[in-house]
Amino acid sequence: MDYEKMMQIALENLNNSVDYDTPFESKNLFNGAEWEALPKKDRISFGRYFANEVTERSVPEVVRLEKGKNNHARYIKVRGEEK
């Protein structure tokens, strides 16, 4: 799996289609067919990779929230000064 390529897609979609103050999951940064085409282990691995990037503050304007009821990590896009 090419994490860097997937991260580029995720960041592009984050900037273009995720609104501020709206919770999302990493899978929301891909179209449904594209995400579902990945093997489950790759979806899980990318989710961990994305979570680590957010934790290390490598993803601008994104903050990790508590896990949702489905046990998936959730995030929110905030304006720079709100971090």
What is the structure's pLDDT at 70? 87
What is the structure's pLDDT at 59? 92
Number of domains within the chain:
1
| pTM of the predicted structure, to 2 decimals | 0.88
| Cα dihedral 41→3→7→30 (10° resolution) | -30
Task: Determine the structural domain holding residue 55 and report its residue range.
Answer: 3-82
Per residue in 26-69, pLDDT tens? 999 999 899 999 999 999 999 999 999 999 999 989 999 998 88
What is the band of 83 on the pLDDT scale with cuts at 50, 70, 90?
A: very low
What is the structure's pLDDT at 29? 96
Distance CA 61, CA 64 (A): 10
